[in-house]
Each structure stands twice: as structure tokens, then as C-alpha cells.
């Protein structure tokens, strides 16, 4: 079965450092998403991406965050200057079309620890 793959599975970084989380969505999917889940808390939407631009973003997705699809297969989330509170599991997801009636496939997540 096709799957969304994410790398790294776990990253530890110093506060203030830049981090790039990578995702390979399912190949025929057109919509891509990033979500965050702080340990023990609910999943939070960060951003959705379609046709090489951001479709929607949440209040969490401030100027320190950016997304990119650099080469037609990877979808990246960059955090420019990490803070302690950025420590969380970051999930990438993709869907074939809009959410309406379409299955959303999540990757296994990238666990980010900021120290």
C-alpha cells in the first residue's frame, strides 16, 4: 500500500537552530499537510499546500515556519530558529484531492526535541 514517508524519525536540536523535516507524499496526491502534536496533547493543524503554494495555515504557523516542495517529490517543513516549545511530533499527510470525501494518509511522524 502506498505510504507517506518522513525523515528523520527523531531529531534533537539546540534551541535557535534551524531544522528541516522532510516528507515524501504519496505520488499521485495533490494536497499536502503538516500537523503538530505536542506530547500528550491533541493534533494541531499547521499548514496545507496545493499547487505549489500554501492553501491554509494556522496561527501556529508563524514566520519561523516555512514549507517547500523543492523537487516535485519532497515536501519540507522548515523551522528557522527553534524554540523549546517547538518540541513535538510533526506529522506530514497527503490526500488525492481536497479533504471532501478523500482519505488522508499520515506519515509516521518526525519527533523533534529542542534542547
Partner 1 sequence: QQPVQSPQAVILREGEDAVINCSSSKALYSVHWYRQKHGEAPVFLMILLKGGEQKGHDKISASFNEKKQQSSLYLTASQLSYSGTYFCGTEITSTNAGKSTFGDGTTLTVKP
Q: Which stretch binds partner 1 (CB under 8 A): 19-27, 41-49, 63-71, 74-82?
A: 41-49
- Which of 45, 66, 76, 96 lies at the binding interface for partner 1 (CB under 8 A)? 45
89, 11 in Cβ contact below 8 A?
A: no
Strands 110-114 and 10-13: parallel
Convert residues 54-73 into a mask of x (bound to partner 1 by CB under 8 A) and - (unbound): -xxxx---------------
Instruction: Give the Cα separation of 48 and 93 in Å (integer).
Output: 9
Supply angle C-alpha 93, 53, 91, rounded to 5: 20
Positions touching partner 1 (CB under 8 A) are 31, 33, 42-45, 48, 50, 55-58, 91, 95, 98-109
Amino acid at each position: 500500500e502506498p505510504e507517506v514517508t518522513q525523515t528523520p524519525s527523531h531529531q534533537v536540536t539546540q534551541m535557535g537552530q534551524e531544522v528541516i523535516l522532510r516528507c515524501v507524499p504519496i505520488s499521485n496526491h495533490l494536497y499536502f499537510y503538516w500537523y503538530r502534536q505536542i506530547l500528550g496533547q491533541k493534533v494541531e493543524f499547521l499548514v496545507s499546500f496545493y499547487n505549489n503554494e500554501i492553501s491554509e495555515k494556522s496561527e501556529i504557523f508563524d514566520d519561523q515556519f516555512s514549507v517547500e516542495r523543492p523537487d516535485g517529490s519532497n515536501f519540507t517543513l522548515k523551522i528557522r530558529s527553534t524554540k523549546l516549545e517547538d518540541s513535538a511530533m510533526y506529522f506530514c499527510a497527503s490526500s488525492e484531492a481536497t479533504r471532501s470525501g478523500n482519505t488522508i494518509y499520515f506519515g509516521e511522524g518526525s519527533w523533534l526535541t529542542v534542547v
